[in-house]
Amino acid sequence: MYNDNPTLDGVEKKIDEAKQGEVFYQDAGEEGGKKFYIESYGCQMNFSDSEIVASILGEAGFSPTRNMEASDLILINTCSIREKAELTVRKRLRIFDKVKQQRPGMLVGVLGCMAERLKKKFLDEEKLVDIVVGPDAYRDLPTLVAGAEDGNKGVNVFLSREETYADISPMRLDSNGVSAFISIMRGCDNMCSFCVVPYTRGRERSRNAFTIVAEATNLVERGYKEVTLLGQNVDSYKWENPETKEKVTFAELLVMVAEVSPELRVRFSTSHPKDITDEVLYAIRDYENICKYIHLPVQSGNSRILKKMNRTYDRPWYEQKVDRIYEIIPDCAISSDIITGFCTETEEEHKDSLSIINYAKYSMSYMFFYSERPGTLAERKYEDDIPLEVKKRRLSEIIELQNNISRSENLKDIGKTFKVLIEGDSKRSDLDFKGRNSQNKMVIFPKKEGLKAGDYTYVKVTESNSATLKGEIV
């Protein structure tokens, strides 16, 4: 899930807006020692990586601060998925530049996908940048910072086949103390023709299953109630124990994490339709604490476009997958990612993307118009031939339909009672709590004495709209 919304005046769905560039952590305050300030953009993986970076810097004697002006090191964890995401980062760099002018000696580092994509070019293009570090080189940060302090700008964009940061215990930055991310794999081997990720995050590799379970156990001990297992394609998780040669699949990993505690909710993202197995679906069905929610990006509802996108499934195959999910887990919610205006997409083919929303009854979708990315297969092989206005008009049709489907699906929840994990106060009123049900739908309800963030409660839904359910504790 990515949070660089396409700019489409007024019509785009605001996706996790609050998270955009969120700055989060326990502030080190006025304590001595060097301080770093970090902003994250893009997918959940980037937010999770920032916690690994924070841990590495913590070991090197840096402490986090929310106050950019008081920091010795500004880091920006960047996203390249669409052009818009990169433009946002460039804008932030202009702001950092102003701060840097007031604070000689301050360093600016660019991390993540944009660092990997542009490499050394970043230093030439953006004079204020001192350090450029790709997603697999974060262990080198303290050395690069030390070099930059001595006036040597540094770049490390080495992509690894092994690095999973398995042994690093992330510094929980944004913590609401209730939910946390656990990175279970890195990279992507899929080569969807529109996507820059395989180039910026490298080859797929899975993290040691025991360190994942240990991280989940540690979180439970610290009072956490929900973990989201993260990877570009979690269903292709496969780890071999080097000693016993035993293999752990994603379905097995899910069960291992679910068994850490029945009180711990387990979520995961993202699933590739081609890799999600019945075993995964059975695990979701059989464990109450594995959430009944699957993010299953379709990208397009048309078989010809799917082939051009190199998604390796066609529409009938995807439909069967959706059928199978609802057959095994009738109360499962499915969400999606959809791209409009991919190369050569016709009006008829666009209508297929509309009808797949209707077919799959997505609870929600992340929707984008196609943005050509340098170096991808599509950029090299196909012409980006759909005019921007057409892409945007198609996107607005997709968004409108998805909103209608979400609204009518949420209407069906009225009268139902859900187990909700309380996340904190609702945004609108501190008289209300917000939380999520297993299906990942946001539920708002009046507070009750004795309950707090991190508690489970049962809420009967009395009202709903396209984005939230409202109800009362029962």
Residues that bind ligand 5AD (CB under 6 A): 2, 81-82, 194-195, 297, 299, 337, 339, 368, 370-371, 373
Which window, 99-107, 169-177, 187-195, 435-443, contacts ligand SF4 (CB under 6 A)? 187-195
Among ligand SF4, ligand 5AD, none, partner that 266 touches (CB below 5 to 8 angstroms by kind): none
Binding of ligand SF4 at residue 195 (CB under 6 A)?
Answer: yes
Among ligand SF4, ligand 5AD, none, partner that 339 touches (CB below 5 to 8 angstroms by kind): ligand 5AD
Binding of ligand SF4 at residue 190 (CB under 6 A)?
Answer: yes
Q: Look at strands 247-249 and 238-240 and give their pairing.
A: antiparallel
Q: Which residues contact 132 (CB under 8 A, 6 or more apart)?
A: 109, 110, 115, 118, 119, 120, 122, 123, 154, 155, 156, 157
Site for ligand SF4 in 234-293 (CB under 6 A): 272
Tokens encoding 468: 């939230």
Alpha-helix runs per DSSP H in 103-140: 113-118, 121-125
The one-letter amino acid at 94: R
Among ligand SF4, ligand 5AD, none, partner that 198 touches (CB below 5 to 8 angstroms by kind): ligand SF4
| Structural contact between residues 31 and 108, judged by C-beta atoms closer than 8 angstroms | no
**Looking at 45, 54, 73, 188, which residue binds ligand SF4 (CB under 6 A)?**
188
Instruction: Measure the CA–CA gap between 290 and 288, rounded to whole angstroms.
Output: 6
**Looking at 15, 197, 338, 356, which residue binds ligand SF4 (CB under 6 A)?**
197
CA distances from 54 to 48, 141, 147, 263, 379 (A): 10, 10, 19, 28, 35
Please report how close the Cβ of residue 123 comes to ligand SF4 at its closest, in angstroms.
Answer: 27
Neighbours of 169 (CB within 10 A): 14
Taking the least distance from each CB to ligand SF4, the nearer of 187 and 435 is: 187
**Looking at 88, 156, 228, 232, which residue binds ligand SF4 (CB under 6 A)?**
232
Please report how close the Cβ of residue 268 comes to ligand SF4 at its closest, in angstroms.
Answer: 14
Taking the least distance from each CB to ligand 5AD, the nearer of 109 and 297 is: 297
Please report how close the Cβ of residue 253 comes to ligand 5AD at its closest, in angstroms.
Answer: 22
Taking the least distance from each CB to ligand 5AD, the nearer of 35 and 82 is: 82
Element at 456 (helix H, strand E):
strand 456-464
Q: Of 392, 407, 333, 343, which Cα lies nearest the Cα of 372? A: 343
Element at 132 (helix H, strand E):
strand 131-133
Please report how close the Cβ of residue 309 comes to ligand SF4 at its closest, in angstroms.
Answer: 8
**Looking at 178, 192, 296, 357, which residue binds ligand SF4 (CB under 6 A)?**
192
Please report how close the Cβ of residue 440 comes to ligand 5AD at its closest, in angstroms.
Answer: 17
Instruction: Measure the CA–CA gap between 269 and 257, rounded to whole angstroms.
Output: 15
How many residues are recorded in the chain?
A: 474
Residues that bind ligand SF4 (CB under 6 A): 188, 190-192, 195, 197-198, 232-233, 272
